[in-house]
Amino acid sequence: DLSVQAQVLNLLADLQDEFQLTYVFISHDLSVVRYIADEVMVMYFGEAVEYGSRDEVFADPKHSYTKTLFAATPRADVESIRARLAKKKAA
């Protein structure tokens, strides 16, 4: 459930701030990585292929595998959603 996930992530972030904790997350969920991480390491076949600050890696990925990961992440097509909703309303 996404609401439980959000609550857990917020709790972890609060604890991290309060107690100056460091976490190591292993995740395929890039939205979680972007939310919780300060620094990101991308692994490919057991090898670190990219490392940097969250903002650097997400803004300008260098390795082809990192680029492939980001390209495979579903993105909301807002215009398509609006068009479908408008079509439903008109029907």
In tens, the pLDDT along 10-69 reads 999 999 999 999 999 899 889 889 999 999 999 999 999 999 999 999 999 999 999 999
Q: Cα torsion at 24, 31, 14, 16 (round to 10°)?
A: 20
In the block, which residue shows the tokens 């459930």?
1
**40 or 84, greater pLDDT:** 40
Domain count of the chain? 1
Predicted pLDDT of residue 76: 67
Predicted pLDDT of residue 23: 93
E-only strand ranges, the chain: 39-44, 47-53
d(CA 80, CA 57): 28
Predicted pLDDT of residue 52: 98
DSSP state of 8: H
d(CA 66, CA 28): 12
Judge if pTM exceeds 0.85: no
Range of the domain at 44: 2-90
